[in-house]
A and B are shown apart, each in its own frame.
Chain A
Amino acid sequence: MAAIRIDNLRKGFGSLEVLKGINLDIADGEFVCFLGPSGCGKSTLLRSIAGLEDLDGGSIHLGERDITDVASAKRDIAMVFQNYALYPHMNVRKNLSFGLALNGMKRDEIDRRVDNAADILRIKELLARKPRQLSGGQRQRVAIGRAIVREPKLFLLDEPLSNLDAGLRVTMRVELAALHERLGVTMIYVTHDQVEAMTLSDRVVVLDKGKVSQFGTPLELFYQPANLFVAGFIGSPRMNFVTTEVTGQVGASVTLNGGGLAHPLTLEMMAAAPIAKPKSVTLGIRPDKIELVSAEEGHLVGDVRLVERLGTESHVHISLENGGDMTAVVRGTHPVSARERVHLRLAAEHCHLFDGDGQAVVRRLDAETQALINQEKAKRVA
């Protein structure tokens, strides 16, 4: 059993509080990513789980065992570092076996584990080489191999692909996913790359300023962001936001108007939670859910600042008439050009609503999206 339970974890450096009461429950065998911008505390959280940081408060349980005060070596974990941390003066075999040999493991068992890891990672022919003689991808494999030979209950990976070029990153991402499938061990992976987090994880922990902003499946984060931070952080190009006001509410239907909206917009929420009106709220919409339309149909109006043509799609950067910026994603061959006046229609069924505190008002999803999220959740539970 290698479920992780983190209760009210706190950690600071001097007067700077980096982790402000983290609570997490990670299931056995789950692949979880810690995602967030630089300085949000994701690496500190991982290092705390590894036992490389002294905590200011809280507790960590691995399975039923409280490992808060257990020495790093005795936690039954393995860690892969961002810059590989391979011993440059040892060859690959020695790098893999070093820790095992010093823990008194028998030679036969060490050889078995090293050969097994080398088989899994296809590095058998590299065992006699020094790290200097390996490419970035091979070094990364060795670093992962060093974790595998320990046969730990928990893998901790600290931005392990960030030093690789884009192509190799994709290859290694696929290999990591396959490795997790094969080993079935709990893995915690730190990254600032949302593509890595979305493609690898069963669930993602989005961290912001030392707090868990949202913990959910990748599609949950994308379609039902819990707050403005997650909504803006997940998705590229990022979600657009418009400040507007609630002018009417009938059951779960909320009508918005004003603050730049030329026509009222009615959104369907999950429940009929009353929103006091008139109340300033934030409307969020992803760039690919905006349409460039005629003046009569448009909710917003603005001038095109820049068009980025990427082939299959074009990113249109717009300065809104009433202030603020917006990005729309249109088809690659759309004739829109810079300095053109455009009218934007927002697809109501894809709009997100955030209250004055930046917390999401849970919206009703279309049946297809809801089914996809449910399927993802069911897979995780299985």
Chain B
Amino acid sequence: MDMSYATAAVPVVAKRKRSAFARHIVAYLFISPWILGFLFFTLGPLVFSLTMSFYDWPVVGERSFVGLENYRSMLFEDPQFWESLWITVKFAAIYVPFNIVMSFLLALMLHHITFASGFFRTAFYLPSVISGVALVTIWSWIYSREYGLLNFMLSFIGIDGPNWLGDPNLAIVAIIIASLWGLGGTMLILLTGLKAIPKELYEAATVSGVPGWAQMVFITLPMLGPMLLFTFITSIISAFQQLTIALLLTKGGPLGSTYFFAMYIYDNAFKYFDMGYAAAGSWVMFIIVLLLSLGVMRWSAAWVYYEGEVRQNDGEHNA
């Protein structure tokens, strides 16, 4: 009796195992396009560039392993590394807060207007889907000293417009303004966040006599915390990756005043063909952005509240 039971049970178990395997295979097949894309276009290049950064890797010619030499010479012997990093930090320090504040104000405005809100939403978002090259073409015309729109407008109020892209002090400002042109994405995220705040919170505050400014400070901003944190980090990343606008609008000039860190990496790779050195620069940028992001994340614990989160000092959880 026992034997017959045992022999009968084996195929059933085997069948179950097979069907579980088959189910998994189907699931993996479904996500395989993404997995292949990730392996070949993200993880592969990532590992490849890390390996590359330990080599003297000219585009043509012999490659040789140099260990940390690329990093050492970059940090201790290359003044251009520090200059480009400083320009990028200056840019990020102005661009990031402006990007968030202006996006927030625009989102707030779009959240409250009732007239043609769809039109304005599209109008403000549109620039962020325009290609970088087209954007730069428009801005180079706007900033043109003789024929530019900006100086033409300034002439109406009696101001002789400056040479926006030719003045070392103004060129970075011009690039910041052009970069802010694409704040539609950030605005859209914050607008979504604003729309997700229950209106009863404001009504409860209104009935309780909480003034408008306090509703903004104590309800809107805390409720937007996760979105603000997200846009803060993505703004930092995009500030450090600034390349297209500077490359096409000023080519790093005048006098290297807009020579961003990404451009420094680009030049090492495609101008000096020193791929190993450029890869090391990319990893340095990655580490800087990572550390900044981690710092912001740590700092955010003080001001970002997640609905699903229970913190240690919030008291015991009530089951």
Contacts and interface: CB of A to CB of B under 8 A. Distances in A.
Interface of A: 50-52, 72-74, 77-79, 81-83, 85, 87-89, 91, 98-100, 102-103, 126, 128-130, 132-135, 138, 146, 150
A211 B172 CA distance: 65
A85 B305 contact: no
Interface in B198-229: 198, 200-201, 203-211, 214, 218-219, 222-223, 225
Contact of B314 (A133, A138, A150): A133
6 contacts: A79-B203, A85-B198, A88-B307, A103-B209, A132-B307, A132-B309
B158 interface: no
B208 A81 contact: no
B292 interface: no
B201 A85 contact: yes
A89 B305 contact: yes
Nearest to B223: A89
B314 A128 contact: yes
Contacts of A99: 205, 208-210
B216 to A, nearest CB: 12
Contact of A85 (B204, B223, B309, B317): B204
Given A73-B208, A91-B315, A146-B208, 11 more contacts: A52-B203, A77-B207, A78-B208, A81-B200, A87-B222, A88-B307, A98-B208, A100-B208, A103-B209, A129-B314, A132-B310
Contacts of A130: 310, 314-315
B207 to A, nearest CB: 5
A87 B305 CA distance: 11
A79 B214 contact: no
A133 B310 contact: yes
B301 to A, nearest CB: 13
Contacts of B295: none
Contact of A87 (B203, B219, B316): B219
In the A-B complex, the 9 residue pairs with the smallest Cβ-Cβ separation, listed nearest first, are A99-B208, A73-B209, A85-B200, A89-B305, A85-B204, A128-B315, A89-B222, A129-B315, A81-B200
Nearest to B319: A135
B273 to A, nearest CB: 53
Contact of A133 (B206, B210, B317): B317
Given A89-B222, A132-B308, A73 B318 contact: no
Residue of A50, A78, A99, A128 with highest tally of chain B CB at under 10 A: A99
Contacts of A135: 318
B213 to A, nearest CB: 10
Contacts of B200: 81-83, 85
Residue of B209, B223, B305, B318 with highest tally of chain A CB at under 10 A: B209
Contacts of B209: 73-74, 99, 102-103
Given A81-B200, A87-B201, A102-B211, A73 B315 contact: no
Contacts of B210: 73, 98-99, 102-103
A130 to B, nearest CB: 5
A219 to B, nearest CB: 33
Contacts of A85: 198, 200-201, 203-204
Contacts of B198: 83, 85
B46 to A, nearest CB: 37
Contacts of A91: 314-315
B207 A102 contact: no
B318 A79 contact: no
A122 to B, nearest CB: 14
Given A128-B314, A132-B308, A79 B225 contact: no
Contacts of B317: 133
Nearest to A50: B207
Contacts of A100: 208
Contacts of B204: 79, 81, 85, 146
A380 B29 CA distance: 72
A365 to B, nearest CB: 42
Contact of B206 (A73, A83, A87, A128): A73
A164 to B, nearest CB: 15
A73 B201 contact: no
Contacts of B307: 88, 132
Given A98-B218, A129-B314, A129-B315, A81 B203 contact: yes
Nearest to B214: A102
Nearest to A51: B207
A89 B302 CA distance: 11
Nearest to A52: B203
A357 B262 CA distance: 82
Contacts of B205: 98-99
B225 A133 contact: no
A63 B210 CA distance: 24
Contacts of A74: 209
A129 B225 CA distance: 19
A138 B319 CA distance: 12
B305 A88 contact: yes
B207 A73 contact: yes
A102 B210 CA distance: 6
Contacts of A89: 222-223, 225, 305
A74 B207 CA distance: 8
Contacts of B309: 132
Contacts of B219: 87
